[in-house]
Amino acid sequence: AGTTGARHHARLLLLIPFPNCLYLPQAWLDTQDRCLGHYVNGKWLKPEHRNSVPCQDPITGENLASCLQAQAEDVAAAVEAARTAFKSWSAHPGVVRAQHLVRLAKVIQKHQRLLWTLESLVTGRAVREVRDGDVQLAQQLLHYHAIQASTQEEALAGWEPMGVIGLILPPTFSFLEMMWRICPALAVGCTVVALVPPASPTPLLLAQLSGELGPFPGILNVISGPASLVPVLASQPGIQKVAFCGALEEGRALRRTLAGECAELGLALGTESLLLLTDTADVDSAVEGVVDAAWSDRGPGGLRLLIQESVWDEAMRRLQERMGRLRSGRGLDGAVDMGARGAAACDLVQRFVREAQSQGAQVFQAGDVPSEHPFYPPTLVSNLPPASPCARAEVPWPVVVASPFRTAKEALALANGTPRGGSASVWSERLGQALELGYGLQVGTVWINAHGLRDPSVPTGGCKESGCSWHGGPDGLYEYLRPSGTPARLSCLSKNLNYDTFGLAVPSTLPAGPEIGPSPAPPYGLFVGGRFQAPGARSSRPIQDSSGNLHGYVAEGGAKDIRGAVEAAHQAFPGWAGQSPGARAALLWALAAALERRKSTLASRLERQGVELKAAEAEVELSARRLRAWGARAQAQGHTLQVKDLWARGRAGQVGWGGAQTRGCEMSQAWGPAATPGRGLHFNMRFAWDIQTLSWAKPYFFLSFLETESRSVAQAGVQWRDLGSLQAPPPRFMPFSCPRLPTNFLFFLFFFIFSRDGISPC
Amino acid sequence: MSAHNRGTELDLSWISKIQVNHPAVLRRAEQIQARRTVKKEWQAAWLLKAVTFIDLTTLSGDDTSSNIQRLCYKAKYPIREDLLKALNMYDKGITTAAVCVYPARVCDTVKALKAAGCNIPVASVATGFPAGQTHLKTRLEEIRLAVEDGATEIDVVINRSLVLTGQWEALYDEIRQFRKACGEAHLKTILATGELGSLTNVYKASMIAMMAGSDFIKTSTGKETVNATFPVAIVMLRAIRDFFWKTGNKIGFKPAGGIRSAKDSLAWLSLVKEELGDEWLKPELFRIGASTLLSDIERQIYHHVTGRYAAYHDLPMS
């Protein structure tokens, strides 16, 4: 038995590439005569006299089609189409939008082969991941958001769609990134103009599929063009929000460009992920987690891997063994683990690995990988000195940088000691340890004993430098909603303000006459860290009442004062977060009561600023109501735990809860309901908690914002009058709207009242 | 056949720290079926390879010498001659890996195989198959009798109660005695994973069985409600790899029960290839216990050769 032919053996031991049929994508490109324009208002737009960029197969370099580059007027046409479409789309009841989304899901289902072959062909990603992952999830996303849309009138009463959303996608992305953003936007009634980099046909195909559905052609418009069009798109009248995902530097540049412009900005930056492997983990499964994260074309970027010292050798051995079995090749080959992502990605990783080696790292590469240029083998980097530049830099695909840790505390210090905070997974079979690490990680999404699971109903996002926007779940919807009646956003750039020196130059204010303000005058100074203090510049600014009379002098703050205030907030954070949800709720309610006691004083003060008495009273009342609502939320979230199919047929269970407030609560308490399924809760849990909450509850986000984008501080100062839009907050309200919320004002107000009442903050 | 696994001393530290995360293993099991697609002639080659791994099995109450004879003939000529000729594999001696029967049918099987003129090994189940709930003494005697009758491979079932109550030393001792009773015959230990309760138990039982000297570990009897599944197989294969890393001994793996389609068999091959590597893809280290699988493989090969699907009457029955 078993004496089989040599040829037979030879064949068995090799996995032979089996290219999926190229016919479909080619045929689709042929329908466009191999020349892709833009898809606007349900029609292909192919303006003349435009530059074109070739769309190439990232592996062979073969020219697939040429793509026209948009110019400003094309962008304007797309935005105009979206504005027109917005009027009817947002006016329809949610049920109609839901039906449309479901129809789009069905169209995607019908043309999924075209979609996945095209996507795999142009991005070079493994077709298996696109076919079994992305395309399926895209349909789930549409269905999920269709359901959300159908209940919008009840569930999201008091909220309205923002308007036209500008979506900006980076050169390398999966079309799923687009789906995560357009689904909620379309569901709530917004319309979308997507600016995709040239040579990315999948979004165009999606727009075509959507446009051909009939009654609402203009809801999704896709134009392809260079990054220089971003400011053009963002400054188009009617664009209410710009959603961006991509590289950190581009995001920063975008933030700089958009500071003070009317469009709101949602950022999702960076691609790196983190995996924490403890000594109580199922190491083999954790190794699979590493493969999922970095070497399976699922995650977009590289991975930082932290391994507990006691299992370091074992984990590294298994990892290296597993790497040997990975297979790389043309994305359309049905038997590869990873494809190639083009020359740029390859150059980037080559540079990174070379530098890491020169900085003393050990590099291990393995796998069945073609030796031609755009392919790069799975790479494991270890022994990288912690202080070396490579250890600080973002890890590119497909590299895993492994480093050891000794204790859970050290693991958290290492994991949090990076400016990035995208996603992470914790591998441990001990529930307590897993939760401790999960709570301690400063990242947007944490998976436990799994990596890279996505579900439409669980919000994911990032924190720190990884951005501030959320998608999926209810949070994803609020990204594209605003309280009903909010006036449209206007540009608030002040022409006569020098932003380069704002807050830095010493102001020169002369006495402007006698004050007619109330007596006794409010204490002069800035309220920081629980007490009044003189501003750094030691000077004042006169403020006038509505009739132009000098009302009084307030302290003239500067950049240094802001820094001091942020630092104080930073220091206060652990204490505040450590409070039980009940205590925090009580404090907020006490604050609301204090506010109400001073209703008449506050209202009259607002009145002197030119607000009508009724409006002023309403504003104070709304403030108090909002405080109460948040207080209730703080308390409620202490006990809310969303448990999603914990043991369901091979799928990982997910636990999601929102609100940073829960972080402060007793873990056992939060875990109560989930702990009931039985002892030994060693299954995957995915938490997605979001960091978005009132800025004063999580001051460090404000801080990171300041650090990354000092220009917007000015914006924060200028925009505080948004207070008029106070409403009962949604669960987990708007991420990063903090700079726009009346931060400084609230700080002042809260602590002012606290101190008067003798309540010590924190 | 390779030399026997001599086994090692019982070392409970090999199993005390093990962690198996159920959902993570389930996910891996799901992935593995989609990650390696083989088509066309490569698929045909994989299928032929799969044939050589089959322990062609009949374990029914109504087995008699006549259907055993038919089975043995099928084991010798698993694929229709003209199909093999078309694939240019006629002279490569493709047979199934073994024939697997109840102890009482071993004599018939040996005779029938002799008549067919081949030396395919005869495997016999033993030790109170499938429940294992008989006295140790009779179980050992069963092994000895089967070996006497000419079985060269013995598929024993373990005593599940020892696993469920955590009596690892007792389990080790029992399998040790089975090993001794087998003599020169190969010992395949059936863990009956469908009745072990958890994947952690599957890992521990696998490790104990290998330490006690099993040449193969086998997923199930085919008589439990849950038989060979990918998650269980992943855990067993990882145990085999750990044992190999610790001792240098390569232990074989045999999934059995519920493997009916050619597509399934391909997934099993790629699973072993992925988790253990090519060196395990030979009949000495990998078997598939199946009865109806062979006819489906034959049909697929028929389709590959002719471009048409065969009716069941087009192919000889087993």
Closest residue of chain B to A129, computed from CA coordinates: B35
> Which chain B residues are within 8 Å of A334, Cβ to Cβ?
37, 39
CA distances from A550 to A321, A608, A609 (A): 77, 11, 11
How far is it, in rounded angstroms, from Cα B2 to Cα A261?
76
The pLDDT of residue A519 is above 80:
no
Which of A62-76, A187-201, A320-334, A735-749 comes out lowest in average pLDDT? A735-749
Residue length of chain A: 762
State residue A81's pLDDT score: 94
Question: What pLDDT band is residue A547 in, cutting at 50, 70 and 90?
Answer: confident
List the structure tokens of B36. 């390696």
Q: What is the mean pLDDT of residues A472-497?
A: 80
Give the pLDDT of residue A508.
Answer: 67
Min mean pLDDT across A502-506, A589-593, B28-32, B163-167 is at A502-506
Q: Do A5 and B274 touch (CB under 8 A)?
A: no
Q: Cα angle at A427 between A422 and B241, to 5 degrees?
A: 130
Q: Report chain A residues whose CB lies below 8 A from the CB of B272.
A: none
Q: What is the pLDDT of residue A698?
A: 28
Which chain A residue has its CA at the smallest distance from B120's CA?
A: A1
- Check B218, B223, B250, B263 and give the catalytic one: B218
CA distance A532 to A524: 8
- For residues A275 and B100, give the distance between their C-alpha atoms in angstroms, rounded to a whole number: 46
Alpha helices in A404-525 (DSSP H): 408-416, 431-440, 473-478
Q: How many angstroms from the chain centroid is the CA of residue A150?
A: 25
- pLDDT at residue A469, rounded to an integer: 85
Looking at the complex, report in whole angstroms how far the Cα of residue A748 sits from the nearest Cα belonging to chain B. 50
Instruction: Please name the member of B24, B42, B282 whose beta carbon is closest to the beta carbon of A288.
Output: B24
Residue contact A4–B120, C-beta within 8 A: no
Q: What is the pLDDT of residue A92?
A: 93
Tell me which residue has tokens 């590597």.
B277
Nearest Cα of chain A lies from the Cα of B283 at a distance, in angstroms, of 6
The pLDDT of residue A76 is 94
Cα B153 from Cα A559, distance rounded (Å):
83
Q: Nearest Cβ partner of A8 from B45, B96, B284?
A: B45
Rounded to whole angstroms, the Cα distance separating B183 from B168 reads 23
Rounded to an integer, what distance in angstroms lies between the CA atom of residue A133 and that of residue A129? Answer: 5
**B111 in catalytic set:** no
Contact between A422 and A444 (Cβ < 8 Å): yes
The residue ranges of DSSP E strands in A197-342, in sequence order, are 220-224, 239-246, 264-269, 273-277, 303-308
Would the pLDDT of A338 be above 70? yes
Best residue in A7, A9, A11 to probe B by mutation, most B CBs within 10 Å?
A11
Identify the DSSP state of B77.
S
pLDDT at B106: 95
Mean pLDDT confidence for A622-649: 66
Shortest distance between the Cα of B135 and any Cα of chain A, in A, equals: 34
Backbone Cα Rg of chain B: 19
Q: Which one of A263-272, A712-721, B99-108 scores highest in mean pLDDT?
A: B99-108
pLDDT at position A664, please? 25
Cα dist from A7 to A459, B46, B88, B286, whole Å: 52, 12, 10, 20
Specify the higher pLDDT residue, A123 or A703.
A123
Residues facing residue A404 across a β-bridge: A307
A1 vs B121: CB contact, 8 Å cut-off? yes
Residue A416 has pLDDT above 70, yes or no: yes
Task: Please give, rounded to a whole number of angstroms, the shortest distance from the CA of B190 to a CA of chain A.
Answer: 23
**Percentage of chain A with pLDDT > 70?**
78
Q: pLDDT band for A483, please (50, 70, 90 cuts).
A: confident
Using a CB-CB distance cutoff of 8 angstroms, which residues of chain A are in contact with residue B27? Answer: 288, 450, 650-652
d(CA A181, CA A742): 27
Between A187 and A19, the higher pLDDT residue: A187
- A13 has a pLDDT exceeding 50: no
Count the neighbouring beta carbons within 10 Å of the beta carbon of residue A638. Answer: 22
Q: Is B52 in contact with A1 (Cβ distance < 8 A)?
A: yes
Does the beta-carbon distance from B23 to A650 stay under 8 Å? yes
Closest partner residue to A281 (CB to CB) among B19, B278, B282 is B19
- Residue-level pLDDT at A209: 93
Over residues B187-207, the pLDDT tens digits come to 999 999 999 999 999 999 999
pLDDT at A410: 95
Contact criterion met (CB below 8 Å) for B259 and B269: no
User: What pLDDT does A294 receive?
Assistant: 93
Is residue B254 flagged as an active site residue? yes
Residue of A nearest to B36 (CA): A335
pLDDT at B63: 92
Selected for mutation to probe chain B from A131, A282, A428 (highest B CB count within 10 Å) is: A282
**Greater pLDDT, A755 or A600:** A600
Judge: B96–A651 Cβ closer than 8 Å, yes or no: no
Rounded to the nearest integer, the mean pLDDT of chain A is 77
Q: How confident is the model at residue B75 (pLDDT cuts 50, 70, 90)?
A: very high
- Dist. CA B246–CA A752, nearest whole Å: 68
Query: What local confidence, expressed as pLDDT, does residue A709 receive?
Result: 27
User: Taking CB atoms and an 8 Å limit, are A449 and B27 in contact across chains?
Assistant: no
How many interchain CB pairs under 8 A, A with B?
Answer: 120
Of the candidates B302, B7, B22, B142, the one whose C-alpha atom is nearest the C-alpha of residue A647 is: B22
Task: Find where tokens 């590959």 sit.
Answer: B304
Does residue B104 or residue A214 have the better pLDDT?
B104
> Nearest residue on chain B to A647, judged by CA atoms?
B23
Residue-level pLDDT at A676: 24
Length of chain B (residues): 318
Closest CA to B189 of B162, B161, B153, B165: B153
If you ran DSSP here, which 8-state letter would residue B229 be given?
A: -
pTM of the full structure: 0.82
Is the pLDDT assigned to residue A642 strictly greater than 60? Answer: no
Listed in sequence order, the DSSP H helices in chain B are 13-16, 22-35, 40-51, 65-76, 81-86, 106-116, 136-149, 160-164, 168-182, 199-211, 230-247, 262-275, 293-306
**Each residue's pLDDT tens digit, A602-627:** 888 888 777 888 988 988 898 899 89
Q: Tell me, what's the pLDDT at A237?
A: 85
Indicate the SS3 state at residue A267: strand
CB contact under 8 A, B98 and A450: no
Q: Tell me whether residues B37 and A18 touch, CB distance under 8 A.
A: yes
| Measured distance CA(B35)–CA(A15) in Å, rounded | 11
Q: Touching check for A520 and chain B: CB below 8 Å?
A: no
Q: How far apart are CA A407 and CA A701, in angstroms?
A: 27
How far apart (Å, rounded) are the C-alpha atoms in residues A141 and A143? 5
Distance CA A115, CA A175 (A): 10
Q: Which residue has the higher pLDDT, A608 or B303?
A: B303
For A569-583, what is the mean pLDDT?
A: 86
Best mutation target, A278, A285, A426, to test chain B (most B CBs within 10 A): A285
CA of A649, closest CA in chain B: separation in Å? Answer: 8
Between helices A94-110 and A135-150, what is the axis angle to 10°? 170
Q: Which of A330-334, A343-347, A636-640, B277-281 has the lowest mean pLDDT?
A: A636-640
- pLDDT category, A112, cuts 50, 70, 90? very high
DSSP assignment letter at A489: P
* CB contact A19 to B (< 8 Å): no
Q: What is the DSSP letter of A132?
A: I
- For residue A655, pLDDT over 70 is answered with no
pLDDT value of position B294? 93
Residue A439 to residue A426: CA distance in whole angstroms: 10
Q: Is A60 on the interface with B (CB under 8 A)?
A: no
3-class DSSP state of A533: strand
| Helix A431-440 / helix A408-416 crossing angle, nearest 10 deg | 30
Question: A280–B19: do the CB atoms touch at under 8 Å?
Answer: yes
Residue of chain A whose alpha carbon sits nearest to that of B242? A318
- Cβ–Cβ gap A335/B38 under 8 Å: yes
DSSP B30: H
Q: How far is CA A589 from the centre of its chain?
A: 31
| DSSP element (H, E) containing A313 | helix A312-324
pLDDT per position as a tens digit, A698-742: 222 222 222 222 222 222 222 222 322 333 333 333 333 333 333
CB-closest option in A427, A449, A650 to B30:
A650
Closest CA of chain A from B31, distance in Å? 10
What does the block give as tokens for A713? 């501080």
For residues A84-101, average pLDDT:
94
Mutate to test the interface with B, among A3, A8, A646 (most CBs of B within 10 A): A8
Which tokens go with A139? 């349909």
Q: Which of B85, B254, B263, B273 is catalytic?
A: B254
A333: closest chain B residue by CA: B37
Does residue A281 belong to the interface with chain B, where contact is any CB pair within 8 Å?
yes
What's the gap in Å between the CA of A646 and the closest CA on chain B? 9
Question: Which two three-digit tokens encode residue A581?
Answer: 């949800």
Check whether A358 has a pLDDT greater than 90. Answer: yes
Q: Is the dihedral of CA B237, B240, B244, B250 positive or negative?
A: negative
The CA-CA-CA angle for residues A593, A597, A598, to 5°, reads: 120
Contacts of A281 in chain B (CB under 8 A): 19, 21
Q: How buried is residue A430: exposed, middle or buried, by Cβ count under 10 Å (0-12/13-18/19+)?
A: middle
Query: Are the beta carbons of B22 and A280 separated by less than 8 Å?
Result: no
Predicted ipTM beyond 0.95: no
Q: Give the residue on A whose Cα is nearest the Cα of B22.
A: A683
Q: Measured between CA atoms, how close is B210 to chain A, in angstroms?
A: 19
Q: Can the peptide bond before residue A404 be classed as cis, meaning omega within 30 degrees of 0?
A: no
Tell me whether residues A1 and B25 touch, CB distance under 8 A.
Answer: no
Does the CB of A283 have a partner CB in chain B at under 8 Å? yes
**What percentage of chain A carries pLDDT values higher than 90?**
37
- Is A654's pLDDT higher than 80? no
Give A333 to chain B, closest Cα distance, Å: 9
Give residue for tokens 């029914």: B60
Please name the residues in contact with B55: beta carbons below 8 A apart, sequence gap of 6 or more: B96, B97, B98, B99, B100, B123, B254, B256, B287, B288, B289, B290
